[in-house]
C-alpha cells in the first residue's frame, strides 16, 4: 500500500498492534466505526447479512467520506484509500483472522449474545479482542455467551463516529488486563480517540446521564409543558449544547433510546429511566428519527429538518 510505512498503524508496530479489524453491522454506528478504522489505515472487514444491506452500508460510509472531503477534514486521496480498505462479507467465518472485532448490531441482547457465541468459535487467536458497541447492555452478559470471557470488552463510540472523539471502554470482572490495554491502545493510538473507562453498569457513563435527560424532554412534550422546538431552542441557546434533546433523540434513533431505557430500567429500576408512552407509540409507528425520515422532526432526503 503506498505510504503505508508512515501510517499510524505501521508506526504503532503492526506486528503486535491491531491492524485487521472486523465490524459487525453497517448501520449508522457500524458504518461510522468502519469508516474511522479505514481512515486510520486499518484493514476493515464489515459483516452485513445481505448484499443489499452491505451496499447500503458502503453507500453510507462513502457519503460520510464525501462529507469529510467537502468539509476539508480529509483529502480526495485519503477518501479513496479509506474506501479501498473497506471490504464487506456476509459470512462471519471470514472473520477468523481478525485481531479485533467490534459488534454494532441493533440493541437486542439475544441477537448480540448469539453473535458473541459464534465469534468465539470463529476467532481462535487468544489475543484477539471481541468488543461490543452496545449502548447499554452489560458486557458481562455478552462475555458469558463465550468460552473466553477474558477477551470481551465494551468499546462504545458516539454518533457521528467520525466527529465525536470519545470511546467508553468497559471492562468486566472477567476481562483480562492485556485485552483491555490492547483495546484502549487501539482506540487512542490508532484511531486517535480519547478513552474514558466505565464500570460495567447499564448505560455506562454517558448514556446513564444522557438517557434520563432525553426521556425527561419527551415527557415534557407529552405533557404539553413546552413544544419540541422551544425545548430544543432552550437547550441550544440556554446551555450552548450543539443540539437540543429532541433533535438529538432523532439523531440517536428513538428505537435505540427505548432499548437503552429498557436496559437501564431493568438494571436500576429508576422511574426516570422508564420509557414514556409517547416514545413507545412513536417507535411502534416507525417514527424513529432521522434514519426513517420522521421523528420529532421530519427529514427530507435532502435539506434541513423541519417541524413535525
Ligand atoms: C446513543 C449512543 O449509545 C451514544 C451516542 O451516540 S449519544 C449521541 C452523541 N452525539 C451528540 O451528542 C451529537 C451532538 N451534536 C453535534 O455534535 C453536532 O450537532 C453535529 C456534529 C451532529 C452536527 O454539527 P453541525 O455543526 O450541525 O454540522 P457540521 O458543521 O456539518 O459538522 C460539525 C463538524 O463535524 C465535521 N464533520 C461532519 N461530518 C463529518 C464527516 N463525515 N467526517 C469528518 N468530519 C465531519 C464538520 O467538518 C464540522 O467540523 P468543524 O466544526 O471543524 O467545521
Cα 93 to ligand 1 centre (Å): 34
Burial class (CB in 10 A: 0-12, 13-18, 19+), 13: exposed
Is-cis flag, bond preceding 277, omega within 30? no
Predicted local confidence at residue 118, as pLDDT: 98
Distance 168 CA to ligand 1 centre (A): 18
Concerning whether 168 is annotated as a catalytic residue, the answer is yes
Q: What is the CA radius of gyration of the chain?
A: 19
Q: Where are the beta strands (DSSP E) in 52-171?
A: 86-89, 100-103, 129-132, 152-157, 166-170
Contact between residue 150 and residue 179 where contact means Cβ atoms under 8 Å apart: yes
Overall average pLDDT of the 43-57 stretch:
97
Task: Answer whether residue 171 shows pLDDT above 90.
Answer: yes
- pTM of the prediction? 0.91
Per-residue pLDDT, 300: 87
As a whole number of angstroms, the distance between CA 216 and CA 210 comes to: 10
Mark whether 156 is an active-site residue.
yes
State the pLDDT at residue 17: 87
Give the mean model confidence (pLDDT) for residues 113-126: 97
Between helices 28-39 and 51-70, what is the axis angle to 10°? Answer: 60
What number of CA atoms fall less than 13 Å from residue 183's CA on the CB side? 31
Q: Average model confidence (pLDDT) for the chain?
A: 93
Q: What is the mean pLDDT of residues 14-22?
A: 80
Q: Binning pLDDT at 50, 70 and 90, where does residue 45 land? A: very high
Q: Read out DSSP for 267-283? A: HH--GGGSPPHHHHHHH
pLDDT of residue 12: 43
What phi and psi, each to the nearest 5 degrees, are found at residue 63? -60, -40
Residue 236: pLDDT over 60:
yes
> What digits encode the pLDDT tens for the residues 250-280?
999 999 999 999 999 999 999 999 999 999 9
Average pLDDT over residues 43-63: 97
User: Which runs of E-coded beta strand occur in the chain?
Assistant: 20-24, 43-47, 86-89, 100-103, 129-132, 152-157, 166-170, 194-198, 297-298, 306-307
Task: Inform me whether the pLDDT recorded for 306 exceeds 80.
Answer: no
Any catalytic annotation for residue 207? yes
Report residue 91 as a C-alpha cell.
459470512
Question: Quick one: pLDDT band at residue 307, thresholds 50, 70, 90?
Answer: low
Strands 166-170, 297-298: pairing kind? unpaired
Residue 3 pLDDT: 36
**Section 174-178 average pLDDT:** 97
Say whether pLDDT at 206 is over 50: yes
Distance from C-alpha of 158 to C-alpha of 74, rounded to nearest angstrom: 20
Q: Which residue has the higher pLDDT, 152 or 136?
A: 152
Q: Which residues line ligand 1 (CB under 6 A)?
A: 64, 67-68, 71, 73, 135, 158-160, 162-164, 207, 210, 242-243, 248, 252, 256
Task: Choose which residue among 27, 70, 71 to substitute to test ligand 1 binding: the one with the highest number of ligand atoms within 8 A of its C-beta.
Answer: 71
- Report which ligand 1 atom has the smallest distance to the Cα of 158: 6
What's the 162 CA to ligand 1 centre distance in angstroms?
8
Amino acid at each position: 500500500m503506498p505510504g503505508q510505512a508512515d501510517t499510524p498503524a505501521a508506526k504503532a508496530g503492526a506486528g503486535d498492534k491491531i491492524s485487521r479489524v472486523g465490524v459487525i453491522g453497517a448501520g449508522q454506528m457500524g458504518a461510522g466505526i468502519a469508516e474511522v478504522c479505514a481512515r486510520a489505515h486499518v484493514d476493515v472487514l464489515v459483516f452485513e447479512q445481505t448484499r443489499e444491506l452491505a451496499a447500503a452500508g458502503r453507500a453510507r460510509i462513502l457519503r460520510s467520506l464525501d462529507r469529510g472531503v467537502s468539509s476539508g477534514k480529509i483529502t480526495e486521496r485519503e477518501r479513496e484509500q479509506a474506501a479501498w480498505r473497506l471490504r464487506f462479507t456476509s459470512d462471519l467465518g471470514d472473520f477468523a483472522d481478525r485481531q479485533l472485532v467490534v459488534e454494532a448490531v441493533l440493541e437486542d441482547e439475544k441477537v448480540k449474545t448469539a453473535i458473541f457465541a459464534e465469534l468465539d468459535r470463529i476467532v481462535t487467536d487468544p489475543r484477539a479482542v471481541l468488543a461490543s458497541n452496545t449502548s447499554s447492555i452489560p458486557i458481562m452478559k455478552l462475555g458469558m455467551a463465550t468460552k473466553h470471557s477474558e477477551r470481551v470488552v465494551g468499546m462504545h463510540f458516539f454518533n457521528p463516529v467520525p466527529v465525536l472523539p470519545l470511546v467508553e471502554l468497559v471492562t468486566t470482572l472477567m476481562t483480562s488486563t492485556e485485552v483491555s490495554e490492547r483495546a484502549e491502545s487501539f482506540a487512542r493510538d490508532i484511531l486517535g480517540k480519547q478513552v474514558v473507562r466505565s464500570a460495567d453498569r447499564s448505560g455506562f457513563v454517558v448514556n446513564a446521564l444522557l438517557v434520563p435527560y432525553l426521556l425527561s424532554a419527551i415527557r415534557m412534550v407529552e405533557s404539553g409543558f413546552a413544544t419540541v422546538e422551544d425545548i430544543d431552542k432552550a437547550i441550544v441557546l440556554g446551555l450552548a449544547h450543539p443540539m437540543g434533546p429532541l433533535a438529538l433523540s432523532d439523531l440517536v434513533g428513538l428505537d435505540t433510546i427505548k432499548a437503552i431505557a429498557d436496559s437501564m430500567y431493568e438494571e436500576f429500576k429508576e422511574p426516570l429511566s422508564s420509557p414514556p408512552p409517547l416514545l413507545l407509540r412513536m417507535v411502534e409507528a416507525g417514527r424513529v428519527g432521522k434514519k426513517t425520515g420522521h421523528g420529532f422532526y421530519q427529514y427530507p432526503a435532502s435539506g434541513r429538518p423541519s417541524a413535525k
